[in-house]
Amino acid sequence: MRTEFKKSTVILIAHRLATVIDADRILVMNKGEGKEFDHPYKLLVEDPEADNTEITNKEGYFSKMLKSSGKQTSKSLFEIAK
């Protein structure tokens, strides 16, 4: 799918973070309401210009979801988003 639709706009609804971690933009919804919208890496860090080695956004919905996936999984997904 990533290669076939590389130059297309694709709207993907997913519950698995690994499915969307490399997307251009993510819309995080909660109870039918949009809460966050940006590139995955920007949703995970306070300062995207800094050389972040870990999740620094402690209050974001997306960062909380990623952190709740476990230490190893969140680290792996963070590196993909970066």
Token digits of residue 78: 């963070």
Residue 79, pLDDT above cutoff 90: yes
Examine residue 52 and state whether it is found in any structural domain, yes or no: yes
The predicted model gives 4-33 an average pLDDT of 92
Question: What is the tens place of the pLDDT at every residue in 51-78?
Answer: 999 999 999 999 999 999 999 999 999 9
Q: 44 in a domain, yes or no?
A: yes
Tokens found for residue 2: 């990533």
Distance between CA atoms of 30 and 24, rounded to whole angstroms?
20
24 lies in which domain range? 17-81
Query: How confident is the model at residue 2, as a pLDDT?
Result: 77
Number of domains composing the chain: 1
In this structure, is residue 11 part of a structural domain?
A: no
Rounded-to-integer distance, Cα 26 and Cα 50, Å: 21
Give the whole-angstrom CA distance, residue 60 versus residue 46.
Answer: 10
pLDDT the model gives residue 1 = 75
Residue 8 belongs to some domain of the structure: no
Say if 63 falls within a structural domain: yes
* Plot region of 54 (φ>0 → left; ψ -120 to 50 → alpha; else → beta): beta
| Percent of the chain topping pLDDT 90 | 80
